[in-house]
């Protein structure tokens, strides 16, 4: 979004970036990310639902902090894959996946409402997010689960993905998402994490990708610039230098 301010006869403009971050991914004694330091920099938080990360207390405490800081709270459901952090594709029947999604999203929604807050959006995690890009069955199950819980929820999804098209046909609002700390394939999908250079670790390079995304562009792993539509930009909370990256972006926006 671009906000324009009029000061007397002089017009100035300021770019306002909507940033979301994956949070509450710690599990018991295993700590992931630095949610307390990250939270002030972001607009929306994607709360792990316990299937790839996030124990009940971590989830509840993160939701509470987000509510206190007036952040948009979202559910971040995944395949049931704690060992693989939800980054491995799983073969599940439609019924199994639907039940797993309603279970996860419903839990975060209930926790938020128990403290007087609300659930704002849903963003699938990891391999589930990637599967929903090109697998029609997965995309349909996610949309059906979200619609059954609350048709007013927003789904975060990439432009041109099947989940985007399916949600739009079902009357579910989409926010197109871009990734500041990842490089893309030339077809607009995310480059696999195991490929060299797919994950952007340098805060300066993360900032550069973020500002490319604001312009509707993204850098691919092959060095090409492609067009992308972006309403919200994600930075992953488990990246070691995410706070430095967020500081750079906010200092220039």
Work out how many domains the chain is built from and give that number.
1
Summarised one tens digit per residue, pLDDT across range 89-98 is: 999 999 999 9
Instruction: Specify the pTM.
Output: 0.92
- 8 Å CB contact between 210 and 250: no
Strand, coil or helix: 187: coil
Which residues contact residue 93 at a Cβ distance below 8 angstroms, ignoring those fewer than 6 apart? Answer: none
Structural domain including 192 reads: 2-251
Q: Report the alpha-carbon distance of residue 9 to residue 158 in Å, rounded.
A: 39
In which element (H, E) is residue 155 found? Answer: strand 154-157
Residue 42 has pLDDT above 70, yes or no: yes
Strand, coil or helix: 53: coil
Summarised one tens digit per residue, pLDDT across range 196-236 is: 999 999 999 999 999 999 999 999 999 999 999 999 999 99
Q: Quote the Cα angle for 16-175-5, to 5°.
A: 20
Instruction: Mean pLDDT check: name the lowest of 85-89, 93-97, 238-242.
Output: 238-242
Residue 239 has pLDDT above 90, yes or no: no
Summarised one tens digit per residue, pLDDT across range 145-204 is: 999 999 999 999 999 999 999 999 999 999 999 999 999 999 999 999 899 999 999 999
The CATH code of the domain that includes 21 is: 3.20.20.370
User: Quick one: average pLDDT of 136-145?
Assistant: 98
pLDDT at residue 50 in the model:
98
Length of the chain: 253
pLDDT at residue 240 in the model:
87
Task: Give the pLDDT band of residue 7 (cuts 50, 70, 90).
Answer: very low
């Amino acid at each position: 979004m671009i906000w324009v301010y009029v000061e007397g006869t002089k017009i100035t403009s300021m770019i306002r970036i909507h940033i979301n971050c994956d949070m509450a991914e710690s599990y018991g004694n295993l700590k992931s990310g630095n949610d307390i330091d990250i939270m002030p920099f972001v607009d929306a938080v994607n709360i792990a639902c316990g299937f790839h990360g996030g124990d009940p207390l971590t989830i509840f405490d993160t939701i509470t902090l987000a509510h206190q800081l007036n952040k948009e709270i979202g559910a971040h459901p995944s395949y049931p894959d704690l060992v693989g952090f939800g980054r491995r594709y799983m073969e599940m029947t439609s019924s199994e996946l639907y039940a797993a999604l309603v279970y996860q999203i419903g839990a975060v929604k209930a926790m938020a409402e128990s403290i007087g807050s609300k659930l704002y959006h849903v963003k699938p995690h990891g391999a589930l997010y990637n599967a929903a890009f090109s697998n029609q069955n997965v995309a349909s199950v996610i949309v059906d689960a979200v619609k059954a819980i609350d048709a007013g929820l927003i789904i975060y999804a990439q432009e041109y993905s099947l989940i985007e098209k399916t949600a739009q046909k079902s009357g579910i609002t989409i926010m197109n998402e871009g990734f500041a700390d990842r490089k893309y394939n030339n077809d607009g999908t995310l480059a696999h994490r195991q490929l060299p250079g797919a994950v952007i670790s340098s805060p300066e390079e993360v900032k550069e990708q973020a500002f490319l995304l604001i312009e509707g562009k993204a850098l691919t792993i092959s060095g090409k610039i492609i067009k992308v539509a972006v309403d919200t930009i994600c930075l992953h909370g488990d990246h070691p230098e995410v706070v430095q990256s967020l500081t750079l972006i906010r200092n220039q926006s």
